[in-house]
Structure 1
Amino acid sequence: MTARAALVVRGGWEGHHPVEATDLFIPFLEGSGFDVRVEDSNEIYADEAVMAATDLILQSVTMSEISREAFAGLRTAVENGTGLAGWHGGIADSYRNTSDYLQLVGGQFATHPSKHPDQCSGDQSDNYLPYTVELTDLGRGHEIMAGLEDFTLHTEQYWVLHDDLVDVLATTTHPVQPYHPWHRPLTSPAVWTRLWGKGRIFVATPGHSLDVLQDDNVRTIIERGLLWASRTESA
């Protein structure tokens, strides 16, 4: 049996630990029958031969930029059946200046609300809040979320702008607080999938730090999402 091919593309803002974070999942991919190639530049997306042979892309590139040629290669690969998967800013806050990428993925990081100003110290922990990831009815019947229940995290809670072509498997709700300007609770997708041409896209918004990625629920969701998105699974 020929091994499936996974391409790990990582880089961008170092605060999301793209190398260490993706290293957590490479053994899982190899154990699941993938030959894994790692690239530190998204210019690999412009290599038509590599992309045509890739069954799954695991991307962890926060912010950064992407060339016209690289994005065209990524989009073509997904349309032709290559899976695209990732977590947190590595997929939902990539390439902010490329609107076509935002359309491809279906959701974009907008903010992560902070603690009360009196509790803020000026570091990343200002945005660490306790919150609940709640499975949707669709999620409870989906293979990625099978057997899981609502769970809580203490980390960045993503507020995501999205469209109606995403299939939302789990949500999180941002409450009204007197120190924030919104006036009613806002529910945002926390885990979603998307069909794009022949390809599948998987996004989980938890994953700011290594400890969050090693949470049993988060890690299970990501591992299942990687397999779900792969070309072989979607064929």
Structure 2
Amino acid sequence: MSKALVFWGGWDGHDPKEGGEIVEQMLTEDGYDVTRAEGTGILTEADLPSFDLIVPIVTMSSIKDEELKPLTEAVRAGTGLAGYHGGMGDSFRQATEYQFMVGGQWVAHPGDVIDYTVNVTRPDDPVMEGIEDFPYHSEQYYLHTDPSNEVLATTTFTGEHAHWIDGVVMPVVWKRRYGKARVFYSALGHKAHEFEVPQMKTILRRGMHWATRQPGE
């Protein structure tokens, strides 16, 4: 049985508690042994290398060096990392090593909550299998991203809310490597009710499965 750690906190506007509960339920349904904890203290209290997957759901918070180090070390050694929206892509703005691990960092969402399209760029990837381009109503994330990411889906900005980015194609779902680990990120999921969108939930669920350390890794 795979072991997963879900830790949540930070800005309440992203429904971190509710999101953590939903993710815990998803993973439990899929046969994981899940530990869910509030705050970053768990990163020094728990044996992180014993987990096969870690899911951060923390926005606009801070992390101490003594908490960040065991997290990055565990992931580099093979513990998978997966998450969504600001819960993983805007967690610790001052922690550049964390951002290096994630493969990106949120910087803006022009227009706030708007209608936009998610474009599937890798329909052959198991995470995106059977999912076609779909409309989405949420924050359209503008991110600074790592060119080494393997991009699975993108979104294109129209310039309506920031004319200078008209036509910019932005990665919205990706996977990558950090040390020996698999890292997955989806920018979808501003509020907990977005888990009701089948594509959003399926993409995250499959991404978490992909990121989970596999036997022998």
Displacement of 1:28: 1.9
Displacement of 1:68: 0.5
Contact 2:106 2:142 in 1 (8 A): yes
Comparing 62-71 with 19-28, greater Cα deviation is found at 19-28
After TM superposition, the score normalised by the length of structure 1 is 0.88
Equivalent residue runs for 1:169-208 within 5 Å: 169-177=152-160, 180-182=162-164, 184-208=166-190
SS in 2 for 1:168: strand
**Distance in 1 (alpha carbons) for counterparts of 2:210 and 2:197:** 20
Size of the alignment, in residue pairs? 217
SS in 2 for 1:42: coil
Contact 1:206 1:213 in 2 (8 A): no
Percent identical residues: 39
Equivalent residue runs for 1:95-134 within 5 Å: 95-114=92-111, 127-134=112-119
Letter in 1 for 2:178: W
After TM superposition, the score normalised by the length of structure 2 is 0.95
The partner residue of 2:120 within 123, 132, 135 is: 135
Displacement of 1:214: 1.8
Bigger-Rg structure (1/2): 1
**1:19 is the counterpart of 2:17:** yes
Runs of 4+ in 1 over 4 A off after TM superposition: none
Displacement of 1:199: 0.5
The partner residue of 2:192 within 186, 210, 233 is: 210
Give the direction of change, closer, same or farther, for the CA distance of 1:234–1:159 in structure 2 (3 Å limit).
farther
Q: Which position in structure 1 is the counterpart of 2:81?
A: 84
**Distance in 2 (alpha carbons) for counterparts of 1:160 and 1:180:** 14
Letter in 2 for 1:159: Y
Give the direction of change, closer, same or farther, for the CA distance of 1:153–1:54 in structure 2 (3 Å limit).
same
Contact 2:20 2:57 in 1 (8 A): yes
Comparing 142-151 with 26-35, greater Cα deviation is found at 26-35
**Distance in 1 (alpha carbons) for counterparts of 2:126 and 2:64:** 35
Structure 1 unmatched runs, 5+ = 115-126
Comparing 179-188 with 224-233, greater Cα deviation is found at 179-188
Displacement of 1:105: 0.7
